[in-house]
Structure 1
Amino acid sequence: MSKILLPVGISFYTFQLIAYLVDVKRKEIKPCDSFINFWVFISFFGQLIAGPIMRGKEFLPQIENLQDNKLTLRNFKYGFYYIIMGLTKKIIFADFLASKADFYFNQVGNLNSLDAWFASYLFAFQIYFDFSAYSEIAVGVGYLFGLYLNINFKSPYISASPSEFWKRWHITLSSWIKDYIYIPLGGAKKGTLLQYMFLIIAMAISGLWHGAAWTFIMWGIYHGLLSAFHKIYRKWIKLERKNSFYKILSIFIFFNLTTIGWVFFRAKSIHEAVFMIKKMITLCDISFSHVYFVYFGFIALLYGIHILEYFIRNNEITLKLFWEKHVPTGIRAAAYMAILIILILLTKTEESSFIYFQF
């Protein structure tokens, strides 16, 4: 049986092209009158393969003025910062978690309830570290060329609702789905029931974008249902949402709901996904062992790192000023060198591609 070979990253620049054509049709941007500028806009190597998906109104003006760009110390520092952050996520975290997650997902039939939860948590963090790693490397490369790419991830697992999650996870794809599918379908303008249906359709298309498999489509439908049910919940149940306990509880619940959804994304078939999710929800065969305290302690550590990233991202300027003002130059240089050496030593000799290279 013959297989059709598709170019790497075809879905990303296809979406970028669609957005450009629609924006020109809507007269939101003027058509690009330079073939070279348009070619760079579509094929800029930094974000070509796995995003972020850039819009014409954001990126074309930068490219048209590219000849005036100079490598500044500020851009070099930010470029280095994002590239190192991305490499750290990929080499130290994503690649390490990949083998652990594969171990469990390759023997789904042998998993008990706690194993299923552990495997799902592992993949949840693997795909986050892996995908955000590429996006941040792309942002860093952009800075080195004087180009400013959109941040694609903003600590999504601290989200307390579906709408907040999609403002933090794969932000450029989420906004693309909203602007070019959900709103054109009718959005919230055609009644509540149709709004919920449009949400589910848009998210199903988002799942299909990841691959022509029922597992991806079910992942999209699952998130569409989460979004619809959350809107119903917000409409009919009135609670005080400024309470910190309510916020923490909401984050905990939605993180676990998101983790359940990742099973559809990672499983080899719908049958395997349903089997795992049934184990996770029913907790039908829990067998406590001290090893699970270690396993879930590891997951708590990963979540703590996620919170630390959120803190660093929200306080970048303050931390940067403190680092440069209070830490001696020699110590800073030694820290940078230590990070580079660690990354080199931990780099695998075998091929290790990014998950989203397949989409």
Structure 2
Amino acid sequence: MLFNSYAFWLFFALVWVIYRLLPHRGQNLMLLGASYYFYACWDWRFLPLILTTTLVNYFTAIGMEKSTDPKRHKWLMAASAVVSLGLLAYFKYFGFFAESAAELLSWLGFQADIKMLNIILPVGISFYTFQTMSYTIDVYRKQIKPTHSLADFALYVAYFPQLVAGPIERSSSLLPQITNSRKNRPHGDFSEGLYLVMLGLFLKVVVGDNLGFIADGIFSAEKGDLTGTEALVGVYCFAFQIYGDFAGYSSIARGVSKWLGIDLMTNFRMPYLARNPSDFWQRWHISLSSWLRDYLYIPLGGNRGSKFMVYRNLMITMLLGGLWHGAGWTFLIWGGLHGAILCIYRVLGDRVKLPDRWGRIVATLFFFHLVCLTWLFFRADTLPQAWEMLTLIFTQQEMTPLANYGLRMLVFFCAPLMAYEIWLDQAHTLRRLESARWGWRAAAYCYFVFMLIVFPPPVFGQFIYFQF
């Protein structure tokens, strides 16, 4: 059930009408049932999986609250982590590690007869696993108190607007909005929700799917059929495809949730205007980058210790961040590249800071192209394909009809978007349009609707992050 499908909006309309007629406890139970139905529409066989994750973390938190023994707390925390990460590892990484082990044994000269299992990846497993783990860790650290309502906790885990592709919500933010009665904020919630939904549909359908059609065609081309210019166009198309796709999902999720009176965190903040890697990760997939910082990077030592230890912590965090996105060497390389970029910028320090306006523009443009180059490894199906396309980009530039078409589509769909984001960034707020004169707001909404109607994509694609 996709956000950009008629089925979802019929489902949501029914949910919203019933929601408005119920008291607080009834609303929660209805949202829980709707969330499980929403998840079952993807594959009902994985409902026991999300229920298991929910029950394990719920009773673990309750057990830690009832016990005063620190050792028992550690054992409970360890057991919860083993179950949660074990399920994630089995469904997401078993095939990757088994195949890698077989290739290693074969390379060493041993006969490797490892039977591969055809394991289906449950949609959203990485998101709700990290969300439940953050809750249990926060209870273990005594930063929050556990909820005693299983229904409320189950809704926190399965809340349908952000269930399958985030943002990864912290319990300190989302749980109180579930457990406490929600205030009626019809006017602000409706207008802001409408803006977020309209923007999200524009990002997903108009930008993401239209450019994704070009990127998919280029990345699926047979070996030897591409020029370096076409490969480069494919990389830039994918850069805006994944941004439009994921930022669009997050925006729609926030808008839909606004209409239910629940606030979700901002997951994107004009990431392609970042000037350095630290700035980028404070703008891109904010819920994941902050999760990795708080539950991995800082516990590893963070910025404390020697320079070597800091660089080690950065590399471990980014490598595991890459692996979180997918079970493949391409994702590990992508994470490793971002880790290396973080380390290099940290080594250079003040020497990469350009204070004047033109210096900041140069830094932004340079880092944008650097990020796009790393997307090649994220998108490529295999390392050989990534290396072949990278070689073409630096050795064989030739303008072709396909490359020319792709460049024109990039300008047509992305230039207005980037101009709008620069306008937002100058004001240091994502809500600048809401305070603008009504004529400008009307013009923006008309543009969104016009583009959605007049320029639908040739193929409506699923959201990329559903596979993670």
TM-score exceeds 0.5: yes
What residue in structure 2 maps to residue 251 of structure 1?
Answer: 364
Deviation at 1:258, TM superposition (A): 0.6
Cα 1:271–1:338 change in 2 (3 A) is closer
What residue in structure 1 maps to residue 462 of structure 2?
Answer: 353
What residue in structure 1 maps to residue 139 of structure 2?
Answer: 24
Q: Within the alignment, does 1:186 sit opposite 2:301 as a pair?
A: yes
What is the number of equivalent residue pairs in this alignment? 349
Deviation at 1:61, TM superposition (A): 1.1
Deviation at 1:292, TM superposition (A): 5.3
Which of 225, 232, 238 lines up with 2:351 in the alignment? 238
Q: Which runs of 5+ in 1 are unaligned?
A: none
What residue in structure 1 maps to residue 165 of structure 2?
Answer: 50
Deviation at 1:194, TM superposition (A): 1.3
State the secondary structure of the residue aligned to 1:76. helix
Matched residue type, 2:307: T
Q: Within the alignment, does 1:287 sit opposite 2:287 as a pair?
A: no
Match runs of 1:1-359 below 5 Å: 2-65=117-180, 67-107=181-221, 109-234=224-349, 238=351, 241-280=354-393, 283-288=394-399, 295-296=406-407, 298-301=409-412, 302-303=414-415, 305-312=417-424, 314=427, 317-324=431-438, 332=442, 339-340=448-449, 343=452, 352-359=461-468
Q: Which runs of 5+ in 2 are unaligned?
A: 1-115
Deviation at 1:239, TM superposition (A): 6.1
Cα 1:186–1:146 change in 2 (3 A) is same
Asked whether the 8 Å contact 2:272–2:280 carries over to 1, the reply is yes
Cα 1:205–1:2 change in 2 (3 A) is same
Q: Distance in 2 between matches of 1:210 and 1:7?
A: 14
Cα 1:161–1:71 change in 2 (3 A) is same
Q: Distance in 2 between matches of 1:256 and 1:305?
A: 17
User: Larger deviation: 101-110 or 173-182?
Assistant: 101-110
Matched residue type, 2:170: R
Q: Distance in 1 between matches of 2:207 and 2:420?
A: 15
User: Larger deviation: 3-12 or 344-353?
Assistant: 344-353
Q: Deviations over 1:258-317 (max 9, x none)?
A: 11100101101011111212233xx32223568856644543452552231342464655
State the secondary structure of the residue aligned to 2:146. coil
Matched residue type, 1:213: G
Asked whether the 8 Å contact 1:160–1:254 carries over to 2, the reply is yes
Asked whether the 8 Å contact 2:354–2:363 carries over to 1, the reply is no
Q: Distance in 2 between matches of 1:357 and 1:239?
A: 36
Cα 1:165–1:303 change in 2 (3 A) is farther
Identity %: 38
Matched residue type, 2:218: Y
Matched residue type, 1:180: Y
Deviation at 1:228, TM superposition (A): 0.5
Q: Distance in 1 between matches of 2:207 and 2:353?
A: 37
Cα 1:303–1:197 change in 2 (3 A) is farther
Asked whether the 8 Å contact 2:214–2:406 carries over to 1, the reply is no
Deviation at 1:339, TM superposition (A): 4.8
Q: TM-score if structure 1 supplies the norm length? A: 0.89
Q: TM-score if structure 2 supplies the norm length? A: 0.69
